[in-house]
Amino acid sequence: MTVQAANGTTNAPRRPPPPGGGPWALGSVVAGALGSSMTRYVLRRVLWGIVLLFVVSALTFLIFYAFPSADPAALRAGRQATPQLIEQIRHALGLDKPLYEQFWIYIKGLVLHFDLGYSYENNVSVSSQILSRLPATIALTLGAFVVWMLVSLPIGIISAIKRGSAVDRATMGGALVAISAPVYWLGLIVLLLFSRDIGWIHLLPGSGSYVPLTSDPTQWFLSLLMPWFVLAAAFAAFYARMVRGNLIEVLGEDYIRTARAKGLGERRVILRHGLRAALTPIVTMAGLDLGILLGGAVLTETVFNIPGVGRYAYDSIINSDLPAIQGTVLFGAFFIIVANIFVDVVYAFLDPRVRY
Amino acid sequence: MLRILGAARARPAAGAAGVAALLSLAVLAAGCGSSSSGETQSAASAASGVATTPPPTPTSCASKGGTLKILSAGDVDHIDPGQAYYAFSYEITRPTQRALLVAKPNSIDLQPDLAASMPQVSKDGKTVTVTLRPGVRFSPPVNREVTSADVKYAIERGFSTSVANGYAAAYFGVLEGAPTTPPSFPEPISGIETPDTHTIVFHLSRPEAVFDAALSLPLTAPVPEEYAKPFDDQAVSSYGLHQVATGPYMIKNNAAGSINGIGYQPGRRIELVRNPNWDSSTDYRLGCADQVLFQEGYQDPTVLTRTILSGAADANGDVPPPAAELKSILANSTQSKQLYFTPAGGSRYIALNTSKPPFDNLNVRKAVAYVLDRNALRLTRGGAVDGAIATHFIDPSFGARGFDQAGGKSYDPFPSQDFSGDVAKAKDEMKKAGYENGMYTGPEISMVADNVAPGSDTAKVVAADLAKIGIKSKIVSVTHSTMYTKYCNVPKNEPNVCPNVGWLPDFHEPQAILDVPFNGKNIVPSNNSNWPLLNDPRVNAAMDKAEQTLDPSARYGQWGAIDKSVTETAAAVPWLWENFPTLFSSRVVPALMVDNQGSPDVSLMSVK
């Protein structure tokens, strides 16, 4: 990030475009056409994001081969397959080519055709698998995000205002418990308490009950209620503590004292001046957490048997299914990078001191 | 079906107290019976203390219609019937595909399925003729009647790289003209003839005792060439995603025949619907339910078990109930009636690498066989409910098919009190091997094991037992599939000990248990399943002879003797004849495949 100079231009030295053009040159041309420093900044971040995705992809590739993992050709061939058959499969899958060549073929398919390859396990397109699972992951993540924000903001604000009170102690104590409860444990407990099939109180659909929104909206909503709250629990607790801490700090600032001295109402001081500044780091965190979860909430999806991207990632690792591993890792990295860019942009709107 | 015993049906280890309680409960539930006719597998019960009597064979539907729901943790290994090779995958192929032969319900004996009668074998054992049953039709979009050419093509495609069947070469490589180098795409095999639309003749290059048994494998389920060829002619065949069925059910498809994302959502669900072209008069299957859902992704076996007990699902597909749940179920007089144990048909064993020191020495291996606490090993997998402690390799469920001939349960060449190991005898063997004081003095040995329980616990018990005779072990922990494909299956990478291996038969012939894992001719540079690298000329010769002995009585006697010979080499130390538990909901009439590890048989189950 560069800080905007007084004359409206960035004070970072402008790099010349590489000979023959390239991403940077393209970015500069587009940025020049679009004009504003913010646009240039966003474009630059997007280009760096693409570079980062490339690096992530290369690292995943290397890690798969560098660390002990199963032989995909042998797995595909089955138990009694002859060594000749395994070698033929290795050849057919291109696994006998040098690593750099395999990687080049992969990247070429990805860039030219958005082709993430085919699963070694079942020969199904990885991109179609990820896309078909994406709605479940998005539904889980966004729902949980709404829950944790709706819970954490009021609790954090009240705790900050009523600092040291019984309410503060009770909510922060509760938050500590929620942070300490692992998702896989909490998920099982909630299932054993409230699910219709195996719960003590037959209240909500249990594990494996997820259906797409389009097929049955009511069942979709009910099946996600428990996962939303379980996934949100730890986040809500952590965010409540963050909001509380930030707000307490902000409320001690001079400009808050000035606002009060000018006769502004306490509600306006807290919500308009205090909370806005206190929320800035929360936005950063929320963006990143959202990006990470969109890449797959592995544990929650596994405990509640939600067919999302996270469970696909889990299954692909278990099966040493490299194309699927690559696809899910890239996908997760994509969301994290997008979330990063988004957060940086939102930052500027929330905090007028920040400019690019 | 043949698969290495591994994580798919693994259970967490139970504590000793829990296991003791479980054992006492299990003893109460014990049953008995004869296995000599192959009707039931109760022989294991006496040793394990758990009844292994299957539920009565349904002869009619309790009701027509409804949905059966089977829960599983993972997906099938391959959806293509020509590739499928897991017990769980056979839960899909059995109700959808009709192989030439099939195991009788509640039996390990075979009967005709697509075949009209049992195969006719020529006197010299080199020609096998099968007549097909008329009136069997493919499901949409193919719709036509099955012919012998469809069976021929099904077997031929299995040899190609694009389909890559895991057992084609092992059982059908004996066909004249069978490829020795896998072709990229299906090619005709001269040793398969189809003189008319309902006759298929197999010409073998030598007599093969288990060839007719191999005709029960799903590779022999018909595949229509005119429809499948375009899919098979891809680098990786996608016929599995467009397959057609011959059984009472088919995987739900669209008009073009694709099941991808429709009836088959990998890792999520497999949906079977009625095959409109199925004629019940041609089949022993009942096809009672309208729909069968295999719901996957149940990673927590406790949740899976309780969901079945609640009646929200009907049976466990690939993961057994965990030990704590089994204990609870067995203690409940109602729920215990919904639980059935089935012998897996194979054994778990500790493989000792005979190709390098110190286990190239027979006496050192015998010392290990004596010192291993097989009771402690069994406890790492849950205790007595998991099955009887193995003392040789042929499973008790084989009965007169080799188990009895090997000496049955009374044969134990390395006995110890309560199977807990005999350190004194082990040290005697070490002394015979030249180690003074009976303690090993050589370098540390290597062991590659699973990185999760129960396999990791098994490895720790082995290491602790080896330490009793001075052998220090270095354990490398990896995933189960890595353990096989990168280490134990690759002789040049193979450690001294592979503690987490085992072998299940493709069908109930002792050859299917002993030949691949212990015949020296099967040692290959990769995908090797002879983990001890045992290459004993005496054993090899006996196996080669038994493979070509067509008379069952003589053959089973030969394999019984081979079992003893292999056991006495101590190249591998068997420790568990495993049972698999299958839990049914109270709302269904249960049925299971005793020939396939007790997997639920949805083609015979019905909603009450």
Task: Read off the pLDDT of residues A168-192 as tens digits, 9 standing for 90 and up.
Answer: 999 888 888 888 888 889 999 999 9
Task: Name which residue leads in pLDDT, B31 or B482.
Answer: B482
Interval B181-190 mean pLDDT: 93
Would you say residue A240 lies in a domain? Answer: yes
Asked if residue A53 is part of any domain, the answer here is no
> How far is residue A252's CA from residue A233's CA, in Å, rounded to a whole number?
29
What is d(CA A258, CA A245) in angstroms, rounded to the nearest whole number?
A: 21
For residue range B24-73, list pLDDT tens digits in order: 333 333 333 333 334 333 334 434 456 778 999 999 999 999 999 999 98
**When comparing pLDDT for B15 and A107, which is higher?**
A107
Number of residues written out for chain B = 608
> How many beta-carbon pairs under 8 angstroms link A with B?
166
Between A120 and B443, the higher pLDDT residue: B443
Q: Compute the half-sphere exposure of residue A64: CA atoms within 13 Å on the CB side of its CA.
A: 26
CA distance B23 to B48: 8
B63: closest CA of chain A, how far (Å): 23
Cβ-defined contact of B169 to A80 (cutoff 8 Å): yes
Using alpha carbons only, give the angle A135, A139, A140 rounded to the nearest 5 degrees: 120
Supply the ipTM of this predicted assembly. Answer: 0.73
pLDDT of the residue at A76: 77
Quote the DSSP letter at residue B409. Answer: G
The two three-digit tokens of residue A244, written as one number? 């509380």
Residue A199 domain-assigned?
Answer: yes
Per-residue b or e along B317-327, where b marks 16 or more CB atoms closer than 10 Å to that residue's CB: bbbbbbbbbbb
Identify whether A323 is part of a domain. Answer: yes
- Return d(Cα B323, Cα B303) in angstroms, integer: 13
Instruction: Give me the number of domains chain A comprises.
Output: 1
Residue of B74, B181, B297 lying closest to A307 (CB–CB): B297
Alpha-carbon distance of A49 to A340, in angstroms, equals 9
Cα–Cα–Cα angle for B346, B348, B354, rounded to 5 degrees: 115
Report CA B59 to chain centroid distance, whole Å: 26
Kindly list the residues from chain A whose CB atom is less than 8 angstroms away from the CB atom of residue B74. Answer: 315, 318
- A127 touching B (Cβ < 8 Å): no
Residue B455: closest CA among B395, B533, B359, B377: B377
- Is residue B580 within a helix (H) or strand (E), and if so which, with residue range? strand B572-583
Q: What global pTM score does this model have? A: 0.83
The winner for highest mean pLDDT among A15-24, A301-310, B142-151 is B142-151
- Which of A70, A129, A311 comes nearest B482 by C-beta? A70
CATH number where A165 lies: 1.10.3720.10
Q: Of B267, B303, B489, which has the smallest distance from its Cβ to A74's Cβ?
A: B489
Task: Please give the torsion angle defined by the CA atoms of residues B21, B22, B24 and B25, in that order, rounded to the nearest 10 degrees.
Answer: 120
Q: Are B109 and B593 in contact (CB under 8 A)?
A: no
Task: Report pLDDT digits (tens) over A92-141.
Answer: 778 888 888 888 888 888 888 888 888 877 778 898 899 999 999 999 99
Beta bridge partners of B349: B501, B574
Domain of A346 in residue numbering reads as: 129-350
Q: Is residue A337 one of the residues assigned to a domain? A: yes
The verdict on a CB contact (< 8 Å) between B236 and A86 is no
pLDDT value of position A2: 33
For residue B179, how many other CB atoms are within 10 A of its CB? 18
Please state whether beta strands B269-274 and B249-251 pair in parallel, antiparallel, or not at all (unpaired): antiparallel
The answer to whether B399 and B38 are in contact (CB under 8 A) is yes
Residue B353 is classified by DSSP as -
H or E stretch covering A191: helix A183-194
Give residue B15's pLDDT band: very low, low, confident or very high (50, 70, 90): very low
Interface of A with B in 171-200 (CB under 8 A): 188, 191-192, 196-198
Other C-beta atoms lying within 10 Å of the C-beta of residue A272: 12
Model pLDDT, residue A355 = 55
Cβ contact B103:B595 at 8 Å: yes
How many CB atoms are closer than 10 A to CB B281?
A: 6
Task: Look up tokens 């594990």; give the residue.
Answer: A207
* Dihedral sign, Cα of residue B303, residue B308, residue B309, residue B310: positive
Q: Which residues contact A254 (CB under 8 A, 6 or more apart)?
A: none
Instruction: Say yes or no: A137 contacts chain B, CB-CB below 8 A.
Output: no
Per-residue pLDDT band for B375 (boundaries 50, 70, 90) equals very high
Closest chain B C-alpha to A289 CA, distance in angstroms: 25
Q: What are the pLDDT digits (tens) for A237-253?
A: 999 999 999 999 999 88
Q: Is the pLDDT of residue B233 over 90?
A: yes
Asked if the structure places residue A120 within a domain, the reply is: no
| B81 cis-preceded (ω within 30 degrees of 0) | no
- Domain membership of residue A139 (yes or no) is yes
B180, B305, B483, B485: which to substitute to probe chain A, counting the most A Cβ within 10 Å?
B485
- From CA B194, how far away is CA B245, in angstroms rounded? 21
In a domain, A319, yes or no: yes
The reported pLDDT for the residue numbered B499 is: 97
**pLDDT grade, residue B1 (50/70/90)?**
very low
* Mutation target vs A (from B181, B236, B302, B504; most A CBs, 10 A cutoff): B236
- 8 Å CB contact between A75 and A322: no
Q: Residue A30's pLDDT is what? A: 46
